[in-house]
Structure 1
């Protein structure tokens, strides 16, 4: 048994969360460290080294993220049909790992764009099957804690990666390609961890049972409670525009440009600290209550950022924004797992991620238009208003589908 396996089993015994969930969290952490080391520098690299225009950067990022959202839908449904979630999860992480060496080797903008595109395709392939795999592995009474743990570890990678990139850039005098080569290492470690430690539960179909399909009838079979979760999450996503607006707001209040990355580092530190406790709390109370607290925190973050007069207020708003993420993202994923049939969890997560992604894109476009027309205060006030409407929708969902308030240990369709 390898040292990594021994460590994972020790952590699993101490927390009661299965070893596979810990391993998938570690995979997310390592891949996020790798990806964020590159992504934190990529826009600057494209413009200053490759000579790309800002329009080209926007097109590359927009096409890549849109592709990932679309692929998630079909990869999730395919994992239901094949009954092989680890296979698709590994394919997605493997594709992302093998694209990493292209970044330092690329000699043209086209090669960088291709690498970014394939990296996001890998993210799309792995996203829904991985979440469905966590739901399959985790006991119902520990689903919230399991999703919260993965989210915490993933978010640690999101702020460790940029910090490593900043340190390496300082140490090498701005050698982008050196940073990109170092980023290759954690990507391949992530794949190795997935392959060696994660074990997929056996799924047995009764004789004559058809393989799950992905059509109109299958979408109806996901059930009313699931679609209420999707609807509430979509409305909530409309209130959650890109974190780039946080950076712009804090800069506008006096943060020096060189320290701009500290905005997202602060947000992600708070996010990481909150995600696991919030998930564990949702296993003991009910998920809707924890999610509602997160919604209220987003309203508070928006109001603070709208009226902040200096960096102290901005820092509080950023911290509240990270706290709301910690109390909502893993909990909403657990609600999807609770409400969807077990043999359709891949499709359920794919559709959920796609709808939320489209709503977040619309929110960012609207936020940009409001910012240009009326200024930052109006942007954050609009976000607070939309989130308040999402709170109303959450309350209505709890009344229409009481199963969503059921104790997590008995929730869902196993």
Structure 2
């Protein structure tokens, strides 16, 4: 009896330590949804640049326009999605709408043959992404303790990136195994996306209060710790927050930019996003640089995804410890290094023969691991719970809109000056953007401190 009691006491004493390491169940389920959705999306994304440029003869400027639509169309609706989710705490409802809309676009690609039709389908697909992203990230931030949000986002982004890793591989296999390669890719992509929507509908809680009062072991163990007190305050405030959200209007959302920290963070995301070359352009430049066979082009995103997958959780944990801002800016330094390698003379002893693609893709994935979830974790600390989805959408909108402009500018530069001159211009712009971001650096609170107004 004494031995049993001693062991039980030991487990209770270890509870706060175990709680700090636990990942909420909601984060894991949302990670599964993102994994399936990313398999579906990346199957299409992996083959689309090659199809448009080589099969349809699209110019770099034309592809830049289409790529900008693909990556920037979601910017126009992110604020709408965030605002709708905050009104009545309808996070899951809006997320289901966004995921479902994107899933329905996959079979539409089977009948979209002309460039205008493809552009329209891609715009609707990205509209779905814009609707779902902020509510999903709000659910993650509300389910995790403030001091472990970086890790929670890291776990989610790692699972998301596992899908990005598997998607291109699946597209590669389907293309080689089927007669109607592209049609088969789109069909399989639709089936996987539908499975993701089903997981979201069946396993994600439907009310914000349940995310804030998770009854899993990690929540019970955290009783008595500062994190538990912060989460308790947020969960007790959830009903009041939901009522306040119903009355929140556009003025209240835009009023978030009156907070100096969030305003500076949004400006930094905007400036840095404008100097970021889109994934598709980076893969096209890399393929041209190493003369990669056409059949292997869909595999390039796998390298970036593998690096992202391996580093998302470590970078999220590092951001919780040393500061999310420094990890976010440092990630852009990794991207700048990738640009530098693309510009370096080859072969010139810079890298061993054949190592350039692996190193560039590893740096590219590390850039996303250090910036994607870390930015959302940093922004969540500056947004009250009642406007969490809208506040995150503000930051995402600024970043997505600036990346849309960046794709257009890079495509125009490539058309006018050639690919190497365009990459050099992008590297110079990114270096200037990092300097500007350092000047705008927000005075971020400690990672463990609650968001302003989180208990009001």
Q: What range describes the TM-score normalised by the shorter chain of this pair?
A: 0.7 to 0.9
Matches for 1:71-220 after TM superposition, within 5 Å: 71-104=77-110, 106=111, 109=114, 115-199=121-205, 200-202=207-209, 203-205=238-240, 209=244, 211-220=246-255
1:300 pairs, out of 309, 324, 337, with 337
Structure with more contact order per residue of length (Cα contacts < 8 Å, sep ≥ 6): 2
Is the 2:168–2:299 contact (alpha carbons within 8 Å) kept by the matching residues of 1? no
Counterpart-to-counterpart distance in 1, 2:112 and 2:339: 42
List aligned pairs for 1:284-295, cutoff 5 A.
Answer: 284-295=321-332
Q: CA deviation at 1:167?
A: 0.5
Q: Would the alpha carbon gap of residues 62 and 145 (structure 1) be closer, same or farther in structure 2, given more than 3 Å must change? A: same
Q: Secondary structure, in 3 states, of the residue corresponding to 2:246?
A: coil
CA contact (8 A) 2:135 2:389 kept: yes
Superposed displacement of residue 275, structure 1: 1.4
In the alignment, structure 1 residue 54 sits paired with structure 2 residue 58: yes
CA-CA distance at 1:357 after TM superposition: 1.3
| Larger mean Cα displacement after TM superposition, 21-30 or 31-40 | 31-40
Which residue, 384, 390, 406 being the options, matches 2:427?
384
CA contact (8 A) 1:239 1:386 kept: yes
Q: Aligned in 2, Cα 1:57/1:299: closer, same or farther, shift over 3 Å?
A: closer
Alignment length (residue pairs): 396
Query: Are 1:410 and 2:445 an aligned pair?
Result: no
Alpha-carbon spacing, 1:246–1:231, altered in 2? closer, same or farther (3 Å):
same
CA contact under 8 A between 2:69 and 2:122: conserved in structure 1? no
**Does 350-359 or 24-33 show the bigger shift?**
350-359
Task: Indicate if the aligned counterparts of 2:157 and 2:309 stay in contact, CA closer than 8 A.
Answer: yes
Tell me how far apart the structure 1 counterparts of residues 243 and 113 of structure 2 sit (CA, whole Å).
53
Q: 1:171 to 1:212 in 2, by over 3 A?
A: same
Measure how far apart 1:29 and its partner are.
0.9
Report the CA distance between 1:293 and its aligned residue. Answer: 2.1
Q: 1:9 aligns to what?
A: none
Rounded to whole Å, the distance in 2 between the matches of 1:190 and 1:52 is 31
Closer/same/farther in 2, CA of residues 247 and 77 from structure 1, 3 Å limit: same
> What is the CA deviation profile of residues 206-250 of structure 1, one whole-angstrom value per residue up to 9, with x for unaligned ones?
798473534345422341100111111111112211122322322
1:340 deviation in Å?
1.6
Give the alignment partner of residue 388 of structure 2, picking from 336, 345, 349.
Answer: 345
Deviations 1:135-159 (A, max 9, x none): 1112111111111122222222123
Partner of 2:374: 331
User: Alpha-carbon deviation of 1:30?
Assistant: 0.2
CA distance in 1, matches of 2:261, 2:51: 45
Structure 2 counterpart SS, 1:339: coil
Distance 1:335 1:108, change over 3 A: same
Deviates more, 1:261-270 or 1:19-28: 261-270
Runs of 5+ unmatched residues, structure 1: 1-11
What's the offset of the Cα at 1:16?
A: 0.6
* Contact 2:157 2:373 (C-alpha < 8 Å) held by counterparts: yes
1:244 aligned onto 2:280:
yes
TM-score (norm 1): 0.85
From 340, 350, 354, give the equivalent of 2:397: 354
2:306 is matched with which residue? 269
1:392 and 1:70, CA in 2 relative to 1: closer, same or farther beyond 3 A?
A: same
3-state SS of 2:239 partner: coil
8 A contact 2:253–2:390 mirrored in 1: no
Whether the aligned pair in 2 keeps the contact of 1:266 and 1:318 (CA below 8 Å) is yes
- Aligned pair partner of 1:233 in 269, 272, 275: 269
Q: Which moved more, 1:322-331 or 1:95-104?
A: 95-104
Deviates more, 1:376-385 or 1:180-189: 376-385
